C-alpha cells in the first residue's frame, strides 16, 4: 500500500475540486491521514473545533472518497487530535486598563458584566457550535477561522459568550482586547468625526488584538458608519487580529447592510445560537438558582423551564422576581407560590397578533414606507417584504386570500396566493430565511408583552 501521506494528497485533491479553494483551505489545510486500520481510517486534525466540524459535515464525503480510492466501502473514518500540532502557551496576566472613553479594555472597566464568565455558560445542543468556536478563538493566536460571527434571537446568550471571551483573554493572555456594542462604537465614530479626531479613533481600534463587537445589526441602514467599520475590519483582518461579532440576525438578514461588509462578516465562521430546548433551560435554571440564597425546589424549576421557552433572559428575570417576592413576604418557594408570582409574565400570551403589528415589524426591518408596501411596485426591495407580510398575515391571522388582497390595495387573490407560495418555497430551501421569520415573529410577540 502507498504511504498515508501520498494517499491523503490524492484524496485531498479530489476534495479540493468538490469544495473549492476557500472551503478547502478553511477546513483541510492542516489535516493528515494518520493511519488505516481494519475498521477505520484515522484522520489527524489540528484542534477540537475542526474535529467536530469535519465529523458533522464532511465525514460522509471523506468516507466515500477514501473507500473509492482504497476499494474498501466498509471502511469508516474517525477524526483524532494531532498531538504534534498541540502546544501549551502560558502568558503573564496583563494589568487592568481602565479606558477613559468607556470601551471595555480592562477587567475593572466591565462593571456588572464582569460576572459573565465562560465557565458559567451552560452548553446544550442549541449553542455547542458557537461555544466550541469561541474556545478556538481564545486558544489560538491564529485560529482556524476569522472572524467568528455569532447570531441568534434576543436573550439566548450571545452577550454572555462575548463577554466571557473578553474576560478569559484578559485574564490569561497579554493582549489588547476590546468589547463594546456596535451602538457605542458608532457613537464614538460620530464624535471623532465631529471633533476632527478621526486619526486617534482609527489608531485606537485598528491596533487591538481581539475585537469583540456586540449587536452589529445596529449598523443597519448606516452607510457612512458601515464604510468606516469595513475599513476597521480590513485593517484588523489583514493584521491577523481576532475578530468576534454578535448579532440578532444573520449577516444576510441585516437590513441595508453593504454587500461587501456582509461578505466580510461571513468570510470566517458563522454560528447560530438557537433558543434552548427544555433540558438545557432546566440545566440553566439549576445553575443560576444555585447562586441565590433561597431554595428552589426541582418542581418549581421544571415549571419555569416549561413555561419560559423564549430566552435565557426571561428565565433569569423569573428567578430574580421569585427571589424578591420570597424575601419581601418571608415565603418559602413552592409550586403554588411560583405560579401565583409568575402569572403576570404570561398575561396576554393568548392575545391575537394584530395586522398592524405584523406590518409595522416588516416596515421597520426592511426600512420601507407603508405606501410602498401597499403599492404595486415590483422592485425586489419592496415586493419581497410585501410577500413576507402577506405570508405572516395568512399564517398568524388566517385571513382569506381576498381579505389580504383587499388590505394591500385591492390586489387580486391570485397575487396573494403567489406571494405565499413564494415564501413557502423559500422556507423549504433556506434554513436561514426560516430563522429570520421566526425571529421576526418573536419580536412581534414580545412587543405585546
Give the residue ranges of the annotated binding site. 155, 157-159
Residue with cell 412581534: 444
Provide CB contacts within 8 A for 412, sequence distance 6+. Answer: 405
Name the phi and psi angles at 204, rounded to 5: -70, -45
DSSP per-residue codes, 254-318: STT--HHHHHHHTSSEEEEEPPP-HHHHHHHHHHHHTTSSS---HHHHHHHHHH--S-HHHHHHH
422: closest CA among 407, 410, 408, 437?
Answer: 437
Provide CB contacts within 8 A for 11, sequence distance 6+. Answer: 33, 62, 65, 66, 69
Provide CB contacts within 8 A for 419, sequence distance 6+. Answer: 386, 387, 390, 391
Measured between alpha carbons, how far is residue 316 from residues 71, 116, 341 in Å? Answer: 56, 13, 14
Q: Which three cell numbers stand for residue 394?
A: 395568512
Q: 245 - beta bridge partners?
A: 149, 213
- Exposure string of 355-369, with b = 16+ CB inside 10 Å and e = fewer, is bebbbebbbebbebe
- DSSP label at residue 104: B
Are residues 366 and 331 in contact, defined by beta-carbon separation less than 8 angstroms?
A: no
Neighbours of 77 (CB within 10 A): 21
| Distance in angstroms (rounded) separating the CA atoms of residues 389 and 360 | 10
Are residues 395 and 440 in contact, defined by beta-carbon separation less than 8 angstroms?
A: no
Are residues 431 and 420 in contact, defined by beta-carbon separation less than 8 angstroms?
A: no
Are residues 218 and 186 in contact, defined by beta-carbon separation less than 8 angstroms?
A: yes
Provide CB contacts within 8 A for 168, sequence distance 6+. Answer: 117, 118, 138
| Distance in angstroms (rounded) separating the CA atoms of residues 77 and 72 | 12
Task: Name the binding residues for ATP.
Answer: 155, 157-159
Are residues 228 and 189 in contact, defined by beta-carbon separation less than 8 angstroms?
A: yes
Provide CB contacts within 8 A for 105, sequence distance 6+. Answer: 97, 98, 99, 176, 177, 178, 208
Amino acid at each position: 500500500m502507498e504511504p498515508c501521506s501520498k494517499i491523503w494528497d490524492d484524496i485531498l485533491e479530489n476534495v479540493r475540486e468538490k469544495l473549492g479553494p476557500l472551503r478547502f483551505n478553511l477546513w483541510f489545510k492542516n489535516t493528515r491521514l494518520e493511519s488505516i486500520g481494519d475498521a477505520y481510517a484515522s484522520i489527524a486534525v489540528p484542534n477540537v473545533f475542526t474535529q467536530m466540524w469535519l465529523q458533522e459535515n464532511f465525514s460522509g464525503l471523506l468516507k466515500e472518497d477514501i473507500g473509492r480510492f482504497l476499494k474498501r466501502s466498509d471502511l469508516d473514518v474517525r477524526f483524532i487530535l494531532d498531538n504534534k500540532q498541540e502546544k501549551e502557551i502560558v502568558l503573564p496576566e496583563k494589568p487592568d486598563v481602565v479606558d477613559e472613553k468607556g470601551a471595555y479594555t480592562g477587567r475593572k472597566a466591565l462593571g456588572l458584566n464582569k460576572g459573565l464568565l465562560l465557565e458559567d455558560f451552560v452548553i446544550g445542543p442549541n449553542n455547542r457550535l458557537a461555544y466550541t468556536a469561541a474556545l478556538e478563538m481564545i486558544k489560538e493566536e491564529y485560529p482556524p477561522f476569522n472572524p467568528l460571527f455569532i447570531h441568534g434571537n434576543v436573550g439566548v446568550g450571545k452577550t454572555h459568550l462575548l463577554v466571557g471571551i473578553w474576560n478569559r483573554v484578559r485574564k490569561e493572555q497579554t493582549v489588547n482586547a476590546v468589547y463594546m456594542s456596535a451602538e457605542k462604537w458608532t457613537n464614538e465614530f460620530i464624535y471623532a468625526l465631529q471633533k476632527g479626531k478621526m486619526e486617534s479613533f482609527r489608531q485606537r481600534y485598528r491596533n487591538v488584538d481581539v475585537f469583540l463587537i456586540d449587536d452589529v445589526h445596529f449598523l443597519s441602514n448606516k452607510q457612512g458608519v458601515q464604510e468606516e467599520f469595513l475599513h476597521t475590519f480590513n485593517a484588523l483582518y489583514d493584521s491577523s487580529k481576532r475578530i468576534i461579532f454578535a448579532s440578532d440576525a444573520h449577516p444576510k438578514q441585516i437590513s441595508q447592510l453593504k454587500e461587501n461588509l456582509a461578505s466580510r462578516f461571513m468570510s470566517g465562521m458563522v454560528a447560530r445560537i438557537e433558543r434552548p430546548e427544555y433540558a438545557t433551560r432546566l440545566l440553566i435554571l439549576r445553575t443560576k438558582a444555585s447562586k441565590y440564597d433561597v431554595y428552589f425546589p426541582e418542581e418549581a424549576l421544571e415549571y419555569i423551564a416549561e413555561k419560559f421557552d423564549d430566552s435565557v433572559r426571561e428565565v433569569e428575570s423569573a428567578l430574580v422576581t421569585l427571589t424578591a417576592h420570597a424575601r419581601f413576604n418571608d415565603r418559602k418557594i413552592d409550586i403554588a407560590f411560583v405560579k401565583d408570582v409568575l402569572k403576570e409574565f404570561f398575561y396576554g400570551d393568548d392575545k391575537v397578533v394584530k395586522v398592524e403589528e405584523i406590518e409595522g415589524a416588516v416596515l421597520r426591518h426592511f426600512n420601507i414606507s407603508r405606501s410602498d408596501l401597499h403599492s404595486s411596485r415590483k422592485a425586489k426591495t419592496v415586493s419581497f417584504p410585501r410577500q413576507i407580510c402577506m405570508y405572516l398575515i395568512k399564517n398568524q391571522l388566517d385571513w382569506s386570500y381576498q381579505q389580504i388582497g383587499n388590505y394591500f390595495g385591492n390586489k387580486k387573490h391570485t397575487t396573494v396566493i403567489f406571494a405565499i407560495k413564494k415564501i413557502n418555497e423559500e422556507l423549504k430551501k433556506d434554513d436561514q430565511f426560516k430563522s429570520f421569520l421566526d425571529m421576526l415573529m418573536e419580536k412581534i410577540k414580545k412587543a405585546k408583552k
